[in-house]
Amino acid sequence: MRAICVDDERLLMENTVSLCRDLPQIDDVKGFTVPTEALKWLENNPADIALLDIDMPGMNGIVLAAEMKRKRPDMAIIFLTGYSQYAVDAFAIRASGYLLKPVTKERLAADVAYALSLRPKKSADHVVVRTFGNFDVFVDDKLVTFKAARCKELLAYLVDRQGSSVTRAEAFAVLWEDRLYDRPMQKQMDVVIRNMRDTLREYGIEDIFEMKNGSMRVCPTQFTCDAYLFFKGDADSVNAYRGEYMSAYSWASMTESVMTWKLWNND
């Protein structure tokens, strides 16, 4: 999940950012001291939750939250303030939390967990991953477009691993077979991961991906995949398989061989 923090007091903003980085639900956080700069950033960068000060010059947190909701209707809002009199206005715009400063990690963690729990749950069929033939991802029948070919290939590889964790180095060895995993290429790998995650956030499907302690994986329960159904013995998926699996990627040939073997031996 990505969070955005806005407070005109830089030290308070930085403290909130630091608290967010310690929360397991949040893996990316951005801080601002100027509300208009936060809004501008939000135009091209989706976020899941915003933690806002209320009493700020130029644009207060209530107005800022309303503008953020207009740009990102599904984004959760939590207000962090030193004043209790704004509570009615805060909840009038459907804020998910209202914390009085100073904010503790425990209180913030509880409000963030509550705010994220209010987000609408989506069925697995909302996201469909197709691996027979070429690899593609669809959200409500809309094709997901990736920023770069390697971003798409990284997700394809994670799908192929069926929920098993993969380290950066392991993924790199697949995406760049003959390159040395040195410092410049480590940075390049980080760019690929970041761009892939940004694409998932853009389409509102970041829940299909998880990253912890430097390892990453897809969450198979968050999407429907023809290959996963095939391995479960789903008749429609078995009948739909024509011997081609993620045809664009040479590393997929091993899984393709296993699927073909299963197909012939189940007949």
Opening angle at CA 169, ends 167 and 172, nearest 5: 110
CB 168 within 8 A of CB 186: yes
By CB atoms closer than 10 A (0-12, 13-18, 19+), residue 192 is buried
Tokens, residue 110: 């509880």
Chain-centroid distance, C-alpha 120: 15
Per-residue pLDDT tens for 165-207?
999 999 999 999 889 999 999 999 999 999 999 999 989 898 8
> pLDDT: is 80 or 154 the higher one?
154
Per-residue pLDDT tens for 73-84?
778 899 888 766
Q: Give the separation between CA 27 and CA 230, rounded to whole angstroms.
A: 33
Chain-centroid distance, C-alpha 267: 40
Residue of 49, 23, 38 lying closest to 108 (CA atoms): 23
Backbone phi, psi, residue 218, to 5°: -95, 160
- Tell me the Ramachandran region of residue 4: left when phi exceeds 0, alpha when psi lies from -120 to 50, beta otherwise: beta
> Does the structure show a pLDDT above 80 at 147?
yes
Q: What is the pTM of this model?
A: 0.61
Per-residue pLDDT tens for 194-246?
999 999 998 989 889 999 888 999 999 999 999 999 999 988 899 889 899 99
Q: Give the separation between CA 232 and CA 236, rounded to whole angstroms.
A: 11
> pLDDT: is 249 or 235 the higher one?
249
Inter-axis angle of helices 35-44 and 61-71, nearest 10: 10
> Does the structure show a pLDDT above 60 at 86?
no
Residue type, 104: T
Please state the rounded mean pLDDT for residues 131-159. Answer: 95
Per-residue pLDDT tens for 11-47?
999 999 999 999 988 888 999 999 999 999 988 788 8
CB 48 within 8 A of CB 1: yes
Backbone phi, psi, residue 43, to 5°: -60, -35
Identify each DSSP E strand in the chain by its residue range: 2-6, 28-32, 49-52, 76-81, 97-100, 127-130, 136-139, 142-143, 166-167, 209-212, 215-218, 224-225
Please state the rounded mean pLDDT for residues 241-259. Answer: 94
Domains annotated for the chain, with CATH where assigned, are 2-117 (3.40.50.2300), 124-266 (1.10.10.10)
Q: Give the pLDDT of residue 89.
A: 57
Range in 93-107, 135-149, 173-187 the model is least confident about:
93-107
Residue 96 pLDDT grade (very low, low, confident, very high; cuts 50, 70, 90): confident
Count of residues making up the chain: 267
Q: Give the separation between CA 119 and CA 3, rounded to whole angstroms.
A: 14
Match 């009615």 to its residue by tokens: 88
